[in-house]
Amino acid sequence: MPASLHCAFDWRGPDRLVLVHGFTQTLRSWDRLSIPLSEMFQVVRVDLPGHGGSGDVDLSFDDTAAAIGEAGGRAIYVGYSLGGRLCLRLAVERPDLVQSLVLVGASPGLADGAERAARQAADDALAADIERIGTVAFLEGWLAQPMFAGLEPQPEDLEARLANTSGGLATALRRLGAGVQEPLWDRLDELEMPVLVVAGQKDTKYVRIAEEMAGAIGANAQVVAVAGAGHPAHLERPISFTRLLQAFLVLHPPTP
């Protein structure tokens, strides 16, 4: 059984909703979304290996996906970027646990072997850089990327990110990066649960990926581009995203 992941729980609603963050984030990144969502759902927020309260956890990509399922049980799963890739893996391997799947700025991985090898080498180099310069300097450069230009992290989010250790982030990048992930493009048509694929309208790369994913999944998939948002669409437009998620789940209520 994979190691347990640190989680935060809010048990107000009748149905369970699991929120899984992206690289460099923690479960605190969901704070301002979890408040309105907890009025409707039992919200479970997960810290991924190398992040937050799971900073000392070291798991492979597949074992991390399994650990998310152990933490969340049968639920609706919402994953952003790295968290989305992991939730997608869980949905393919354990569809009995995933009632509905919501992916934000996520992909099924890199289909081309040479591209995966190049990405793994780049991630290894970046991991070494994190260990060399430390979390504070790395995060400053990470958030300065164009894909995060529209993001202003909330104080609680930024504080928790800065508390991540350089060793934890480096290990997560080496173990969970897209270069080491088995691509899932050929298995998307196995998904039978309702799937909502979200991308920020300004994040044109992931809008294209979202459309390709939905086409491969089939009629049970829906694509939405969040107006005016970049890669972290749920954090840049939290009200729009919350309404979008609630509307999707009203149309596709969890099954008992």
Summarised one tens digit per residue, pLDDT across range 92-147 is 999 999 999 999 999 999 999 999 999 999 999 999 999 999 999 999 999 999 99
DSSP 61-112: HHHHHHHHHHHH-SEEEEEETHHHHHHHHHHHH-TTTEEEEEEES--S----
d(CA 131, CA 71): 29
* pLDDT higher than threshold 70 for residue 256: no
Q: What are phi and psi of 97, to 5 degrees?
A: -90, -25
Domain membership of residue 256 (yes or no) is no
What's the domain count of the chain? Answer: 1
| Residue 220 lies inside a defined structural domain of this protein | yes
Is residue 36 domain-resident?
A: yes
Whether the pLDDT of residue 71 is over 90: the answer is: yes
Confidence check: pLDDT of 84 > 70: yes
79 lies in some domain: yes
pLDDT score for 1:
55
Examine residue 232 and state whether it is found in any structural domain, yes or no.
yes
Tell me, yes or no, whether 126 lies in a domain.
yes
Whether residue 1 lies inside any domain: the answer is no
Task: Please give the C-alpha separations between residue 102 and each of 18, 28, 114, 142, 252, in angstroms, as whole numbers.
Answer: 10, 19, 29, 25, 12
Domain, as residue range, for 73: 7-251
Nearest to 30 by CA among 43, 49, 41, 42: 43
Per-residue pLDDT at 40? 86
Give the global pTM: 0.97
* Residues 43, 39: Cα–Cα separation, whole Å: 9
For the stretch 156-199, pLDDT in tens is 999 999 999 999 999 999 999 999 999 999 999 999 999 999 99
* CATH number of the structural domain spanning residue 243: 3.40.50.1820
